[in-house]
Amino acid sequence: MNTIPWQDKPINSNEVIWRYSENPIINRDQIPTSNSIFNSAVVPFKDGFAGVFRCDNKAVQMNIFAGFSKNGIDWNINHEPIEMKAGNTEMIDSDYKYDPRVVFIEDRYWITWCNGYHGPTIGIAYTFDFVEFFQCENAFLPFNRNGVLFPQKINGKYAMLSRPSDNGHTPFGDIYISYSPDMKFWGEHRCVMKATAFEDSAWQCTKIGAGPIPILTNEGWLMLYHGVINTCNGFRYAMGAAILDENQPDNVKYRTQPYLLGPQVNYEQVGDVPNVVFPCAALHDIEQDKLAIYYGAADTVVALAYGKISEVIQYTKENSL
Ligand code: BMA
């Protein structure tokens, strides 16, 4: 029953986050039409797991596909993309869909993704069964990326992190939070945290964006996020962690100065976009102190990394900016 994937830390490792030895878990050609499958999200579902996968086809058109797994590692991904029905609006235009996140709130699974509507913005849909999907109003005006919902209402409202951006390969980006009473109208926008000064922590000095759904811990919300540095060879994406106040999440209590996972092995350094580690989901088991992080590697494949929640929190507190 929903036993999350796990592999013990290698004995000689002193990392807080370690890679699954059988990575990548999803190959670029896992469905017949795909050029690449990466930046994808999973959740516990029935007696196993379900997910929403970013599969770019061989025309390099971006779309999202549902998938299912018994163990969280071996996935069956549908060969046809998700077809949306009208949810809380008839306006479900979408030029493309990418970088999905998935979360269960109250009675259904909510999906957010980067939706093409005159440029990238945040799309929202819900499903009860990962068969029928209902698209809702876009959360924000273009341009925006990395819309990540909290798994429960905060002070009576739905809450979402996002990263206002531009229409290209955005050279800036800070994390904001917005609230909604109904998943349709979003407001009360607040800045959560910004890219750093180069000299303070260079790996996150160009832009940052929320990754997996935040996890509520004794210390507050554990938010894994990606940070980017612009090098002479282009962007390099790594993962860090922050802890946000439980009731006022725009209050950042701690944030890692070092990254927790950076592109260092072949499948992260070599691919369609080299040097990208891009986390979009994390399964967790608070009682067993386990975290299984799903991340896109080099914009080409999906990989898995593990950590102990308590160690991530301790490390974040002890190595905070
Ligand atoms: C971002 C998004 C991500 C991608 C990353 C690195 O802007 O497009 O999907 O992983 O760039 O190319």
4, part of any domain: no
**Quick one: average pLDDT of 133-144?**
98
**Length, in residues, of the chain:** 321
Which residue puts its alpha carbon closest to atom 3 of ligand 1? 99
Q: Find out whether 212 and 148 touch, Cβ atoms under 8 Å.
A: yes
What is the best residue among 276, 277, 302 to mutate for testing ligand 1's pocket, by most ligand atoms within 8 Å of CB?
A: 276
What value does the mean pLDDT of the chain take? 98
What is the rounded CA–CA span in Å between residue 36 and residue 47? 28
- Tell how far CA 1 is from the center of its chain: 24
What is the rounded CA–CA span in Å between residue 80 and residue 57? 11
Which residue puts its alpha carbon closest to atom 7 of ligand 1? 169
What is the rounded CA–CA span in Å between residue 259 and residue 26? 24
Residue 240 is part of which domain span? 17-318
104 token code pair: 């269960």
12, part of any domain: no
**Quick one: average pLDDT of 298-317?**
98
* Total number of domains in the chain: 1
- Tell how far CA 321 is from the center of its chain: 22
CATH of the domain at 292: 2.115.10.20
The per-residue pLDDT for range 31-68, each reduced to its tens digit, is: 999 999 999 999 999 999 999 999 999 999 999 999 99
Q: Find out whether 116 and 96 touch, Cβ atoms under 8 Å.
A: yes
- Tell how far CA 42 is from the center of its chain: 10
End-to-end CA distance of the chain: 39
DSSP-assigned letters across all residues of 1-26: --PPP--PPPTT---SEEE-TT--SB
φ, ψ of residue 314 to 5 degrees: the values are -60, -45
Residue 2 predicted with pLDDT over 90: no
Instruction: Supply the pLDDT for residue 1.
Output: 60
Residue 138 predicted with pLDDT over 70: yes
Residue 310 predicted with pLDDT over 70: yes
3-state SS record for 284-304: EECCCCEEEEEEEECCCEEEE
For the chain, give the percent of residues with pLDDT over 90.
99
Alpha carbon of 95 to ligand 1 centroid (Å) = 17
45, part of any domain: yes
What is the rounded CA–CA span in Å between residue 20 and residue 9? 9
270, part of any domain: yes
The per-residue pLDDT for range 108-131, each reduced to its tens digit, is: 999 999 999 999 999 999 999 999
296 lines ligand 1 (CB under 6 A): yes
Q: Which residues contact 61 (CB under 8 A, 6 or more apart)?
A: 96
10, part of any domain: no
11, part of any domain: no
The per-residue pLDDT for range 179-232, each reduced to its tens digit, is: 999 999 999 999 999 999 999 999 999 999 999 999 999 999 999 999 999 999
Alpha carbon of 17 to ligand 1 centroid (Å) = 22
5 lines ligand 1 (CB under 6 A): no
255, part of any domain: yes
Which residue puts its alpha carbon closest to atom 1 of ligand 1? 169
Alpha carbon of 237 to ligand 1 centroid (Å) = 9
Closest approach atom of ligand 1 to CA 296: 10
Sign of CA dihedral 303, 34, 45, 281: positive
Q: Find out whether 126 and 111 touch, Cβ atoms under 8 Å.
A: yes
Alpha carbon of 198 to ligand 1 centroid (Å) = 21
1, part of any domain: no
Q: Which amino acid is at 66?
A: A
Alpha carbon of 2 to ligand 1 centroid (Å) = 30
99 lines ligand 1 (CB under 6 A): yes
The per-residue pLDDT for range 156-179, each reduced to its tens digit, is: 999 999 999 999 999 999 999 999
Instruction: Supply the pLDDT for residue 12.
Output: 93
Q: Could you tell me which of 296, 284, 259 has the C-alpha nearest to residue 99?
A: 296
What is the rounded CA–CA span in Å between residue 45 and residue 106? 14
